[in-house]
Structure 1
Amino acid sequence: MFHLPKKPDSLRDTERHLITLTNPKSPIAEQYRTIRTNLQFTALGAELKTIVVTSASPGEGKSTTASNLAIVYAQLGKRVLLMDCDMRKPTIHLTFQLVGTQGLSTVLAKRSSLERAIQSTQVPKLHILSAGPIPPNPSELLASPMMRQVLNDVKGMYDLVILDAPPLMHVADSRLLASEADGTILVIGCDNSNRDLVLQAKEQLVLSGANVLGLVMNRRERTSTDSYYSYAHG
């Protein structure tokens, strides 16, 4: 049985989360462009076609980071696909004000084609593959041969694929995805992260064979709804 995600959130929430789109000249948006530049240097000439964005725990800003990174890469002229692989608590379709009736879960279950499930956005060159209806077996779907086929297909269609993955210390989904991707970014909410959990999360990534590109530190001011980000090589 699949459960439909919630209806899209408010426009105000969209504007808050997509700062690189709504206020591209802001210092926060500039930080995302800096992260993009640092990732390009970190790659050391290797082509990064698939990047997993995850965190140790919920609420650390991984989905916001994935969304804004996807936007700044698209603004650079790259063909970008943002995939919501958090099939337990999907949010990408809410952020971009899209429907969630088709998506990754229906593609993996062979209930819809990849082409029909991918949605365009207001950002030129940026497309979204939402999580789709919430399935009863996310880990099994993500570990399936069909998931590998989907990744191979989208790598041929886009310059960059960014995967928004679930928190590492709650389910095995992110480790499965990280082992298949070219690189992984770990997002840390500096005001609410548990240091031990972060270290365990990074260790789990290394043990899974992931290429840890670095850490994105989300410094959230308590008096503001805006988030400030910095990047550190892992």
Structure 2
Amino acid sequence: MRATTPSQRQGSLSRRSIQPPHARPVPSPAAGSGQAWPVLSGLSLLSGLGIGLWLGLAAGLVAGAAVWVAGSLLGRRREDPRDFRDADAVEAATDLAVLAALPELPDGAHAMEQVLRDPASTLAADLRAIHAALLSTHPVGSPLTVAIASAEKGEGRSLLAATLGRLLASEGQRVLLIDADWCRPGQHALFAMKAAPGLAELLSPHPPGVDEVIRTDPVSGLDLIPAGRGRLGARALLSARMKTLLADLSGGYDLLLLDLPPLLDASDAMLVAGMMDRVLYAIRWRHTRRGPTLGALTRLRKARGRVAGIVLTRVGPAEAP
């Protein structure tokens, strides 16, 4: 047996004295390796760091994973290929021109005021571009009737009709706006007017005089026929009385706008749109679902709706196509 020196015995004692009671003995590292720590067992780690710390770490990992999954799902929704992401995609899918991309505004009241307060705004310029596109395919000097349509609710259809009519009326056009949305009428609220009497009463068996129903916006000069409170539906709007009413009214105006209900909520509205000279089709930017809107457009064309083009609505300032 090889004898040990006092210094070697002291080093051996020092190494034994720092090992915790549950450590597994390991061979001494080779000289010059730089490794001189013991390998601790799982029980030693738990006792040294504490079970609470490990449970906290585990909970943090679970929470982090949940946040990652939620973020992935939200990101996937933002990049949903079913939604229209840009004007080129809309034109390619619909085979129709995008006439304008209307900016996102805080609310309807703000938009109604801006078209009059700031006639040089982007919104006003876009609305004029829409009007020019409508006139480009229509005989000069003859009245123009236009249906404002969309596939689903919440796409900015009614606000498009109201702001377009208000701007053009303020610039000298004779404009009549008719609220024919029998699902959710709202033009009277946008113009802060009474809802009745209106179109429903005009189409009733005992109608009032037209002058009793038409209301004039004192700021712009636009004339409005609200939806009314009587029974209004596709049967009434497709009646001979409605066709006669449109013919009589359009003769006194340069532009007659008809605000329709969402086509997927009231499929007969497509037949009503077919009675008009042109149709403007509203699509909400990065929101409208591709499948439903293309399906509604197909059915609208089969109903002989002459779609003049697409209007993108609620476009963010950094997202303009």
Q: TM-score, normalised by structure 1?
A: 0.83
Per-residue displacement from partner, 1:135-180 (whole Å, max 9, x unpaired)?
2x51111111111111011112211100011111111242122111
Matched, 1:102 2:197: yes
Partner residue, 1:207: 302
Q: How far apart in 1 are the matches of 2:119 and 2:173? A: 17
Q: How far apart in 2 are the matches of 1:19 and 1:85? A: 25
Q: How far apart in 1 are the matches of 2:130 and 2:113? A: 15
Amino acid at match of 1:115: D
Matched, 1:168 2:267: no
Matched, 1:154 2:249: yes
Identity fraction in percent: 29
Matched, 1:118 2:214: yes
Partner residue, 1:127: 223
Q: How far apart in 1 are the matches of 2:251 and 2:306? A: 21
User: SS in structure 1 opposite 2:110?
Assistant: helix
Report the Cα offset of residue 198 of structure 1. Answer: 1.3
Residue segments in structure 2 that go unaligned for 5+ positions in a row = 1-106
Larger RCO: 1 or 2 (CA < 8 Å, sep 6+): 1
Structure 1 residues 59, 17: closer, same or farther in 2, change over 3 A? farther
Amino acid at match of 1:214: G
Partner residue, 1:192: 287
Partner residue, 2:144: 49
Matched, 1:32 2:127: yes
* 1:102–1:117 contact (8 Å) kept in structure 2: yes
Structure 1 residues 23, 57: closer, same or farther in 2, change over 3 A? same
Q: How far apart in 1 are the matches of 2:127 and 2:317? A: 20
The size of the alignment, in residue pairs, is 214
Q: How far apart in 1 are the matches of 2:140 and 2:247? A: 21
Partner residue, 1:16: 111
Report the Cα offset of residue 91 of structure 1. Answer: 0.6
Residue segments in structure 1 that go unaligned for 5+ positions in a row = 1-11
Identify the structure with the greater strand proportion.
Answer: 1
Q: How far apart in 1 are the matches of 2:278 and 2:203? A: 22
* 1:61–1:189 contact (8 Å) kept in structure 2: yes
Structure 1 residues 188, 114: closer, same or farther in 2, change over 3 A? same
RMSD: 2.4
Amino acid at match of 2:226: S
Q: How far apart in 2 are the matches of 1:208 and 1:37? A: 25
User: SS in structure 2 opposite 1:66?
Assistant: helix
Runs (4+) of structure 1 exceeding 6 A deviation are none
